[in-house]
Amino acid sequence: MFTRFAPSPTGHLHLGHVYAAKFASDLAAKNAGRFLLRFEDIDTTRVREEYYREIEHDLHWLGIEWSGTPMRQLDRMQAYSDALEQLKAMDAVYPCFCTRREIQSEIESMTHAPHGPEGALYPGTCRALPQSETEDRLGAGDLHCWRLNASTAAELTDSLVFRDETQGSIVVDPFLLGDVVLARKDIATSYHLAVVVDDAYQEITDVTRGEDLLASTHVHRILQELLNLPEPQYHHHRLILDAQGKRLAKRDDSLSISTLREQGKSPDEVLAMLA
């Protein structure tokens, strides 16, 4: 068994991160497996070198140890680019030139805009652009992203399922999150594409993460099928919430591990707070 914890070095670890790391670490330990650390650092505008060191320090302080050298996604950009080229070759993606403002305007003008678990979905504005226009705009260097074509994905992947340890077998809905972004002109990948490619590369057998990412797993199973990658077992665990019942975020500095340590909390006391 291989599990992993994949934080973004864009801020301090908080209790929610620790719960996720402990869940993955404990699962591997119970099954005589290996627990890996991966840094999801493709968002270079927010990544800071000191956060890599702080995350490792916090985990060591809490007694959460990993196998091998932590992997950085920034070292794997060619692998993501290669995967995107595979998807292009099967017409499973298309370039989108819409700005956020244009997307919002389009959604507001629609009588029945497509919606997913987290709100309105991209309405597919660029999906039917003439090939000549697409080539001209790409050739001109227009800012764009690459989106998964959910309709094509549905045709290429028939009757997919994935198994979650808590919720059992779940039928994949290719349209649940719509035509999600898989890469951008300035960043050669997105979370969805990178996590699927990296899990296969690191031979992750069991993906553990918060239940808020359950919908994303529909996209990930599609990408695994299209890219001929192995399917892991999934464990979507509960989230650690704040006093108002909201999911913790990096702005919740009062519950960051560094702050709790400065307040005199011991590692055991911090871990006890997860209950």
Which residue type occupies 177? Answer: L
- Rg (the chain; Cα; Å): 20
How many angstroms separate the CA atoms of 148 and 15, rounded? 33
Chain center to CA of 133: 31
Compute how many other C-beta atoms are within 10 angstroms of the C-beta atom of residue 132.
8
Q: What's the pLDDT at 249?
A: 61
Q: What's the pLDDT at 194?
A: 98
Q: Are the CB atoms for 121 and 148 separated by under 8 Å?
A: no
Q: What is the pLDDT along the chain (275 residues), one digit of tens a residue?
A: 999 999 999 999 999 999 999 999 999 999 999 999 999 999 888 999 999 999 999 999 999 999 999 999 999 999 999 999 999 999 999 999 998 898 888 888 887 778 888 788 999 899 989 999 999 998 998 889 999 999 999 999 988 999 999 889 999 999 999 999 999 887 889 999 999 999 999 999 999 999 999 999 999 999 999 999 999 999 999 988 766 666 666 555 667 999 999 999 999 999 999 87
Q: What's the pLDDT at 109?
A: 82
Q: How far apart are the first and last CA of the chain?
A: 25
**Owner of token pair 């719960």:** 19
User: Could you tell me the two tokens for 134?
Assistant: 């697409």
Q: What's the pLDDT at 163?
A: 94
Alpha helices, H only, 140-251 = 150-156, 191-201, 214-226
User: Which helix H or strand E contains 183, and what residues bound it?
Assistant: strand 181-184
Cβ-proximal residues to 112 (8 Å cutoff; 6+ apart), any chain: none
Q: What's the pLDDT at 119?
A: 82
Q: What's the pLDDT at 231?
A: 96
Q: Which of 158, 165, 144 is nearest to 222 (CA)?
A: 158
Q: What's the pLDDT at 66?
A: 98
